[in-house]
Structure 1
Amino acid sequence: MSVAQPPLPPRRSIPPPPPLRSSTHTEVKEDEIPKGIAARIASLQLGQVGRTEPLLAKPPPVPTRRLSTPKPKPVFPEDGKHSNGKPVGSGAPPPIPPKWTRPSPDVLARALARRPPPPPVKRPSVHKLQNNPSPPPAPPDAGPRRRIPPIPARLPTPPPDPQSEFYEQAQDTTPGAPFRYDEQNSCLECRDFSHVDAHAALFPRHTVASLDNLAYDLTEPFPYEIEKARAIFTWLHHNIAYDADAFFSGNIQPSTAESTLSSGLAVCDGYSGLFKSLAERVGIQAHKVVGHGKGVGYEATGPGQPVPQYSSGHAWNCAFLDGNWHLIDACWGAGALDGSTYQQRFAPMWFTSPPVEFGKTHFPEDPSYQLASDEDGGPVSWEAYIMEPAGPVIFVDFYKLDLWPSALQPPSRYIQGGTRASFQVFKRCEHMSTAEADNFVFMVSFGNERVPLELNEGGGWSADVNIPRDAGEVSLYNVTTVSGRDAKGFGIQALKRALGRQGMTFGGLARWTVI
């Protein structure tokens, strides 16, 4: 019995494809769309009609392979001949060298005994000879070497800002940082201030705009108050001259720090006033001291004469520097009067001189400014000061050689004739060298006699001399040149042999009067 097959499902109709847009944007109506697969294929072909570009681009052609030309076989030289540096000929390759064999001992001995060939002489190439047929000409003479011009003086620095740290320090009158005591700086007598003095010379008075500018410029590089004060002291020497006309005419007018800076002229009061003003602007305590000075016009009081009445006609400074009080005379340190003419002459011994030494020529109205310690006997009276016997006349070269005035012997200006006198001279500081190579020879001279001073056990130079009654004067000299050469380090023995045989020049140091 056969079972009837189930009926097939109805055939699903394929939906029509979407309309194709040609490059000409031709619209196709719905009733014009063909039916069936054949019609669809035909419609695709019809849709391509009117396109200006193909649907698929043609692939690029495959490049043809470039065949490399075969390299020519090398041509070996024939009989060792070459043409233009290129091998020629077509001879057979060179034969293989024979296998190396060890030479006999005789051959080695002869080879070692043979002298090596001389080194080849280096010759210039043909190319260099052709391009440089003659040696290059010598460069022209450049003339003398140029000298570097001197550094111009610095223009004044603007005053410090009131909000700056420097301004606050300048307004504070308390002492600065303690002085750094070490082997080089512990002694002010032999301390080197050359760097400070050189800096102080960079600010001419005509370039200074104000006292504030000047104080800042002079002291800004230096950390210690002793250096700041030295810069001010040295600047006064370079820029302020003593008003000799006003002094000798008696027409001395009151001055201020501003007027002294403007005029460049001053007497002792102007020097001390300007020093005080500049010092206070950088925070240094400084006072102007008024009193008597044994300067121009002073005459020592003779024995038996009454004590002169006190008079004051000089001014100097007392400054608190790095924890200690010091005495400074900027007027005497700047120069001196030679008759009625002022001579600008730097005298650094008046900067921080020891109180005992300073007190021999300065007597303040206020005894506290003597700075005399109990070890030195305390303050001296007016009578002891003014009645002290006059000492020998001391010349400038004495101070230039760093000699000690208080230790000079004999201490009195007058020497009794017909007696034996002891002459001694010392360096002003025990740290200074007394070696023969570092010093000149000192001599005592009177009449035609010249007696050299020899180094003694006390660290100075001395000589005992018989003084004739008619000697008149006795002078202390140093030998400066021998036969035109510098006599420093010449030595006493060499000097004794040269006396009367070689020409010499001398420098005056001190003088005594024989009575």
Structure 2
Amino acid sequence: MADTEEPQFNTLAERIAALNKQKSFANAQSPSPSPGPGPVRKRPPPPPPPVRPTIEEQSSNPSSPLEKSVNATTHSAKRPRWCSTSPASAPKPHPDRTPDGQKEFWFFREVAEFYDIYVVSRQTSFVTYDPASLPKLPPSRREKESAAKEIARPNRALPSPQPPRAIEPATLARPSLPPRLPSRPVKSQADATPEPQPAPQTRKIPPRPSTNGKSKGPVILGFSNKEKPQDSQSALPARPPIPGRPQSEDEPPPVPLASRPSMAQIEAFETKALTAAGSVNGCLICRDWSAPDAIAAQYPRQSLPRNDPIGYLAQVLCGPLPSYTDKARAIFTWFHYNINYDTDAFFNKTIKHMTAEDTVLAGKAVCAGYAETYKAIANRAGLECVVVTGHGKGFGYTPLKKGERPPPAKPDGHAWNAVRIDGGDWKLLDACWGAGHVDGQNYVAKFTPSQFTYANEHFGLRHFPKDSRHQFRADGVPVTWEYYYTGDIDGEPPTICGTTSEEGISEPSIQPKQRHISIDSGEIVRFQYSKICEHWTKEKCGGQERLVLLSLPRGEGQRDEMIPLETNGFWYWLDVNARDLGPRGKSVRLLVLTSFDGREDATGVTGKEFLAKVGRCAMGWSYLVEWVLI
């Protein structure tokens, strides 16, 4: 079969198109046997290639995908054949090839070698090429429009992610100083009036003028009421005229320094404002409990029905009272009249669990029985109440010595209650300790209302719950076991008798807080206490108070020196040099006068009357607090 004459191609694109066409046609036919290596070796060498034309290097597309796929090192090592694209120089005819597939194979190889040479000639050196040398592209239309909008936009302060501190509302915990007077405008030289020069010595401020019946005095709301300076200036007194000098209309009046309140007056006003906001009925210590206490005394345990005594008590104790606080108080007082502490079971360690009905019918229980029965009655009456378990500084508690560490936390052994009262507040109470106390191994049924009226912070001084959420402190900060057990002091606290609450004395305010006082410290020791609340007045004690004295020991055979305490109506104190307290080993006592000069009741005796007759008449007293001198 004679060889077919090869077509002539003028351009590379025509040759590649013909190559693709023959490739598609060859795939459609039956596969021909591949030529062996023998005929390829016998093929005569091709004629030498013509001179390669110069091709200009183009770098407009340095990152072409075709160029990235070429290995420059591989193609530089080859010596490819060159196929001329000139139409005048036609390729010489190839020698005769026996198989047609062998001719096609060599044709495809020449085209591929030409394509490799073309790609290598267009390849750009990565060493010599620098992208930064290219000129910057001109901005697009979108970029120009956005830049014009930015220029036309007015300058605005960016919003701060957090508000500045300067605009935060100030805390109104303490009244601020009065506002400064506004600055006066500077007058022209022609209209200016010579101002009188202030004298170097301190000027005496005139007293505040009294207001007449027509003018209304300003309402004192503290110094942070934000009144306008013009309004406050009208209430200020006018400056007295200076002899020989004209009075200027623009001259500001003097600042009334004499009428400026002191810090003590400010704090007293704050306390008075707070107490005025919450009436005396809001103070549990001064509240009138006569109605709930009277109801609690009308239903003794023996008269209760044996069928559902809990529901009956909830109805008769709490039904007549509209206040949640009074309901809780009536249940608390009922325990004092009807439930005794089971000392036999406690000391013999034969305590058994009893239901609330069994406790009411038996009339005796331990602390857990008090708490569970109180909760049962309160819940049936519609009160929200829970049982709180933890540690109590009651029978068996021993204060730590100086330098001792508290034991590991073990809040157990006692139980009390928390009940919601008026306003939704949680109130801590101890019905067990409020009904009476243990003296030795005997139970003394003595009503202790302070176990209901104590604030939660005061209540927590002797009660530590297992769950810290049951402390219910007003500040929301729970105390730790170490703070509770030590009382925040290093050593024993002073010995406090149980009659301090009857005298209206707040136990947390008693100082010194340590039982032992050194006489060699060289300091001035202050003995002080305060009333249990700001509402406590002489009317709470039947119209008059009993006199409280500080007893200082003296030498052997000498009578103790008794000194009345100073007071401002709320705080009571007395300062004594440590070296004048007395001999080492003796006790300093705080006592209350009970009888004096033949009077069985010493209520109303004043300190001046006591000092005038001391040592010349009979008297009696009872101890309140005791310290030991070391």
Residues 485, 306 of structure 1: alpha-carbon distance in 2 compared, 3 angstrom cutoff: closer
Q: Secondary structure at the match of 2:313?
A: helix
Residue identity opposite 2:510 in structure 1: L
Gaps of 5+ in 1: 1-180
Is the 8 Å Cα contact of residues 434 and 460 (structure 1) preserved in structure 2? no
Q: State the match for 1:333 in structure 2.
A: 434
Residue identity opposite 1:433 in structure 2: T
Residue identity opposite 1:477 in structure 2: L
Residues 232, 491 of structure 1: alpha-carbon distance in 2 compared, 3 angstrom cutoff: same
Matches within 5 A, 1:499-514: 499-514=614-629
Is the 8 Å Cα contact of residues 548 and 564 (structure 2) preserved in structure 1? yes
CA distance in 2, matches of 1:371, 1:250: 32
Deviation at 1:471, TM superposition (A): 4.6
Q: State the match for 1:315 in structure 2.
A: 415
The partner residue of 2:606 within 462, 474, 491 is 491
- Is structure 2 residue 463 aligned with structure 1 residue 359? no
Q: Which moved more, 1:484-493 or 1:447-456?
A: 447-456
Is the 8 Å Cα contact of residues 355 and 372 (structure 1) preserved in structure 2? yes
Gaps of 5+ in 2: 1-276, 554-558
Length-normalised TM-score, structure 1: 0.62
Q: State the match for 2:574 in structure 1.
A: 463
| Length, aligned pairs only | 333
CA distance in 1, matches of 2:507, 2:407: 25
Deviation at 1:344, TM superposition (A): 0.7
Q: Cα deviations across residues 271-310 of structure 1 (Å, max 9, x unaligned)?
A: 1111111111110000000000011111122333343122
CA distance in 2, matches of 1:347, 1:257: 22
Q: Cα deviations across residues 124-148 of structure 1 (Å, max 9, x unaligned)?
A: xxxxxxxxxxxxxxxxxxxxxxxxx
Residue identity opposite 2:373 in structure 1: L
Q: State the match for 1:212 in structure 2.
A: 311
CA distance in 1, matches of 2:317, 2:474: 32
Is the 8 Å Cα contact of residues 446 and 471 (structure 1) preserved in structure 2? no
Q: State the match for 1:227 in structure 2.
A: 326
Deviation at 1:413, TM superposition (A): 2.2
Q: Secondary structure at the match of 2:623?
A: strand
Residue identity opposite 1:498 in structure 2: K
Q: State the match for 1:409 in structure 2.
A: 511
- Is structure 2 residue 588 aligned with structure 1 residue 474? yes
- Is structure 2 residue 397 aligned with structure 1 residue 298? yes
The partner residue of 1:451 within 562, 577, 580 is 562
CA distance in 2, matches of 1:250, 1:417: 46
The partner residue of 1:344 within 434, 441, 445 is 445
Q: Cα deviations across residues 378-415 of structure 1 (Å, max 9, x unaligned)?
A: 10111221133342222222111221111111122222
Deviation at 1:252, TM superposition (A): 1.2
- Is structure 2 residue 381 aligned with structure 1 residue 282? yes
CA distance in 1, matches of 2:622, 2:404: 35
Length-normalised TM-score, structure 2: 0.51
RMSD: 2.0
Q: Cα deviations across residues 215-253 of structure 1 (Å, max 9, x unaligned)?
A: 211112211010011011001011111111111112111
CA distance in 1, matches of 2:561, 2:289: 36
Q: State the match for 2:530 in structure 1.
A: 426
Q: Cα deviations across residues 107-164 of structure 1 (Å, max 9, x unaligned)?
A: xxxxxxxxxxxxxxxxxxxxxxxxxxxxxxxxxxxxxxxxxxxxxxxxxxxxxxxxxx
CA distance in 2, matches of 1:387, 1:182: 34
Is the 8 Å Cα contact of residues 326 and 353 (structure 1) preserved in structure 2? no
Q: Cα deviations across residues 425-482 of structure 1 (Å, max 9, x unaligned)?
A: 2110111115996211101224332333333347222112332232522221110111
Higher relative contact order at CA 8 Å, sep ≥6: structure 1 or structure 2? Answer: 1
Residues 277, 459 of structure 1: alpha-carbon distance in 2 compared, 3 angstrom cutoff: same
Moved over 6 A (4+): none
CA distance in 1, matches of 2:569, 2:536: 13
Structure ranking higher in helix proportion: 2
Is the 8 Å Cα contact of residues 476 and 511 (structure 1) preserved in structure 2? yes
- Is structure 2 residue 496 aligned with structure 1 residue 394? yes
- Is structure 2 residue 286 aligned with structure 1 residue 190? yes
Q: Which moved more, 1:418-427 or 1:292-301?
A: 418-427
Matches within 5 A, 1:3-402: 183-209=279-305, 210-311=309-410, 312-322=412-422, 323-374=424-475, 378-388=477-487, 389=489, 390-402=492-504
Q: Secondary structure at the match of 1:463?
A: strand
Residue identity opposite 2:545 in structure 1: N
Q: Which moved more, 1:223-232 or 1:380-389?
A: 380-389
